[in-house]
Amino acid sequence: MEPQEKKGFFRGLFDKISGSEPVGTPPEKTGQEPAPASSQEPIEKPGFFERLKSGLKKTKDGLVGRIDALVLGKKTIDADTLEELEEILITSDIGVKTTVELIRTLEQRLGRNELKDGEALRGALKDEILSRLSAHHQPLDIRSHALFVLLVIGVNGVGKTTTIGKLASRFTADGSKVLLAAADTFRAAAAEQLTVWGNRSGVDVIRHKEGADPSAVVFDACKAAVARNVDVLIIDTAGRLHTKVNLMEEMKKICRVINREIPGAPHETLLVLDAATGQNAISQARLFKESAGVTGVALTKLDGTAKGGIVVAVSHEFSLPIRYIGVGEAIEDLRDFDPQEFTDALFQS
């Protein structure tokens, strides 16, 4: 059942070559800078893109660094070059299926004399990756429903609760009234962790005692969301049960309860995946997509891994939009996924 797992052969190498740039702290005010035009407008921090680049540094070094070593200065491109490129892509977790497709497209372009040198090949690869990421790109629009229900699923430890905490804080800052549901009832600490995040942004959390039925929490949370005129209800779930079948049955039951209380909901079933787990994340995407009706993905912990190619694999092989990426622990490190910005950050030197 499980696909053959490719281990990261170059992992050690990646780790060795990846240094650590200081994360983009905003420059200090000099007193000479003009005040922002309007406090209503989001202020794009100067270090925002740099911070993304630094969060993706390991993937950049591993993937693009190796591509550059292969193509830079090459005056001609031949089948051997593409074969070497294929190996780099596969060992960078871009996925076998996507890699084969990318190489086939590049072979066609080579046949049409479009890839004159290394520079052209590098540009063509970036374009092809960008077009695949863009094909499924669809940012999450929580304003599409008066009460938007966001169900967050994924295995234990991938970053569900942290992602929910960051989203709650962002949505609140954008003026939405948020309610959180602690449907991970396995450990009291899980509800506690969510409550800490809730308190930070002044958001209420619906929780029951440890060991309670998650569907009962969800039922109460839906009732409360309607009664309190909430804009966004975010539901945290547990990622572990004795078997995968149990876990999927639990998810289905939760969905049924939500849909009965709020017809048409959940409006988004967001699967959280830990990028650092590479091919395991791919297996999880397959399992949850088949059984739990995933509609979007958040990929966390890209900052700690060279396996960032997985963004391409997950989106392309499962036709799923990547809604968010996590490139660090801070609230601003949970980013809206933007294919152009992402490929620029990877390929820009």
Of 39-47, 153-161, 285-293, 325-333, the segment contacting Mg ion by CB under 5 A is 153-161
Residue 335 interacting with ligand GDP (CB under 6 A): no
Best CA proximity match to 194, nearest among 217, 226, 160: 160
Q: Any idea what DSSP says for residue 300?
A: E
Residue 157 interacting with ligand GDP (CB under 6 A): yes
Residue 293 interacting with ligand GDP (CB under 6 A): no
266 binds, among Mg ion, ligand GDP, none (CB under 5 to 8 A by kind): none
Residue 305 interacting with ligand GDP (CB under 6 A): no
> Which one of residues 326, 335, 345, 346 is an interface residue with ligand GDP (CB under 6 A)?
326
> Which one of residues 185, 300, 305, 315 is an interface residue with ligand GDP (CB under 6 A)?
300
Residue 268 interacting with ligand GDP (CB under 6 A): no
Which 3 state secondary structure label does DSSP give 274? strand
Residue 161 interacting with Mg ion (CB under 5 A): yes
Output the smallest distance, CB 253 to Mg ion, in A: 19
**What is the number of alpha carbons within 13 Å of residue 253 lying toward its C-beta?**
15
Smaller CB distance to Mg ion: residue 132 or 160?
160
Output the smallest distance, CB 229 to Mg ion, in A: 27
> Which one of residues 57, 170, 207, 301 is an interface residue with ligand GDP (CB under 6 A)?
301
Smaller CB distance to ligand GDP: residue 115 or 345?
345
Of 88-96, 263-271, 278-286, 324-332, the segment contacting ligand GDP by CB under 6 A is 324-332
- The tokens of 334 are what? 């949970």
Output the smallest distance, CB 164 to ligand GDP, in A: 8
Residue 199 CA: distances (Å) to CA of 151, 175, 193, 296, 335: 20, 16, 10, 27, 22
Best CA proximity match to 248, nearest among 154, 150, 149, 151: 154
| Distance, CA of 131 to chain centre | 18
Site for Mg ion in 62-101 (CB under 5 A): none
Smaller CB distance to ligand GDP: residue 81 or 169?
169
Output the smallest distance, CB 275 to ligand GDP, in A: 8
Q: Any idea what DSSP says for residue 147?
A: S
Output the smallest distance, CB 190 to ligand GDP, in A: 7
Output b/e per residue, 194-228; b: 16+ Cβ within 10 A: bbebbeebebbbbbbeeeeebbebbbbbbeebeee
Of 40-48, 160-168, 214-222, 321-329, the segment contacting Mg ion by CB under 5 A is 160-168
Backbone angles phi, psi at 241, to 5 degrees: -145, 175
Describe the crossing of helices 96-111 and 310-318 by its angle, rounded to 10 degrees.
90
Residue type, 185: T
> Which one of residues 53, 58, 160, 267 is an interface residue with ligand GDP (CB under 6 A)?
160
Q: Which of 125-131's residues contact partners 24+ apart within 8 Å by CB, and which partners? A: 125/67, 125/85, 126/343, 126/347, 128/102, 129/102, 129/312, 129/343, 130/339, 130/340, 130/343
Which residue ranges make up the site for Mg ion (CB under 5 A)? 160-161
Which residue ranges make up the site for ligand GDP (CB under 6 A)? 154, 156-162, 239, 272, 300-301, 303-304, 326, 328-329
